[in-house]
Amino acid sequence: MTLLLTNLLLAIVWGALSGKATPDNLIEGFVLGYLVLWISRRNDPSGRVYLNIWWRVGSLTLYFIAELLRASFRVAALMFMPTKKLQANIAPAVVAVPLSLERPLLIALLANLITLTPGTLSLDVSPDNKTLYVHTIYSKKNDLDAFRREIKDGFERRIKDLI
């Protein structure tokens, strides 16, 4: 927590020294402050937790953007297919995805990221928080395990890395 406050203080000092307190300049100061803290604290175990969390958040963000683009192009391609080919490529299903996340906030984050991805929709979580039910339009009859693995190895693994 103290490193976050130090980083924020460095961003404010950067804004004051440069004479501009615009959001762009404060973000620039935050990034520069982070780099200063990374250089000065890279061998300090207490600093590693704070410094590494930003890499993990960035990894989750980049993965989500890549999945969002991939799914958007996939849905757009479906819109231009002839009806017969479209019927062959769409196989909607509700898939039960077992969860290894335990905290409700992390489960909600996973469900929202899945819902924001075109072609999938989080429907419900089991009462014991062990299963997430997801509707997808891309399932193949024998490929539901691949869909589960994609969620678990993609979004869920990166969310688990945050904690």
The yes-or-no verdict on residue 138 having pLDDT over 70 is yes
- Select from 138, 27, 26 the least CA-distant residue to 91: 138
Whole-prediction pTM = 0.71
Q: What is the pLDDT of residue 24?
A: 86
Q: Where does the pLDDT of residue 127 fall: very low under 50, low under 70, confident under 90, or very high at 90 and above?
A: very high
The yes-or-no verdict on residue 1 having pLDDT over 60 is no
Give 69-118 as a DSSP string. Answer: HHHHHHHHHHHTS-HHHHHHH-B-EEEEEE----SHHHHHHHHHHHHHST
Tens-place pLDDT, residues 23-78: 888 888 888 888 887 777 666 666 666 667 777 888 899 999 999 999 999 888 88
- Spell out the CATH class of 81-162: alpha beta
* CATH 3.30.1370 residue window(s) in the chain: 81-162
Q: What is the pLDDT of residue 4?
A: 74
